[in-house]
């Protein structure tokens, strides 16, 4: 069963969620596990792709939006559900940027949910959704996460 980690940031905006996801992807990529970042839309996938080129500083990792040439062989794939079935095999870590729980979460060993002030209500709904399905859940309060 997929382990779900909820990271609750004290920040209030979605840009903090994207920056934290970049740091999480960079850390996970160092372990060699495959990573899929599930964006809420194609626009958000492109935004996350652009951010990964420069954030966190001096930690650029190979990545690509599914369907682009950069995605071939990249340890971090970015996309949305429409591309998932065709491009992503079972992977180690799913980072969900959507307000909805992905229907395919069971294909991953671990999944990360990032909650900021703007997404608290949907974060609680996702937590209940996973708890009702019996997933092991962990809760992490993240203070001063950009300082490390």
Q: What is the pLDDT of residues 80-90, one digit of tens each?
A: 866 665 556 66
CA distance 12 to 24: 18
Task: With residue 85 as reference, give the H or E element that holds it.
Answer: helix 81-87
**Can the peptide bond before residue 113 be classed as cis, meaning omega within 30 degrees of 0?**
no
> 57-66, 71-80, 97-106: which range is least confident on average?
57-66
**What is residue 87's predicted lDDT score, i.e. its pLDDT?**
57
Who's near 99: CB < 8 A, 6+ residues apart? 40, 119, 122, 126
Q: pLDDT at residue 10 above 80?
A: yes
CB 56 within 8 A of CB 145: no
**What is residue 90's predicted lDDT score, i.e. its pLDDT?**
64
Q: What is the set of domains in the chain, with CATH numbers?
A: 3-147 (3.40.50.10110)
**What is residue 136's predicted lDDT score, i.e. its pLDDT?**
97
Q: pLDDT at residue 143 above 80?
A: yes
Question: Structure pTM?
Answer: 0.92
């Amino acid at each position: 069963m997929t382990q779900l980690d909820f990271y609750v940031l004290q920040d209030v905006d979605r840009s903090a969620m994207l920056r934290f996801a970049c740091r999480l992807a960079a850390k996970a990529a160092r372990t060699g596990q495959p990573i899929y970042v599930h964006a809420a839309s194609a626009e958000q996938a492109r935004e996350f792709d652009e951010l990964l080129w420069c954030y966190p500083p001096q930690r650029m990792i190979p990545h690509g939006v599914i369907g682009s040439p950069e995605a071939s062989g990249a340890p971090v794939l970015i996309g949305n559900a429409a591309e998932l079935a065709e491009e992503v095999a079972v992977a180690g870590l799913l980072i969900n940027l959507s307000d909805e729980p992905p229907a395919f979460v069971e294909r991953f060993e671990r999944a990360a949910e990032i909650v900021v002030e703007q997404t608290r209500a949907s974060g609680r709904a996702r937590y209940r959704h996973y708890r009702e399905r019996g997933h092991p859940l962990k809760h992490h309060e993240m203070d001063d996460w950009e300082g490390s």
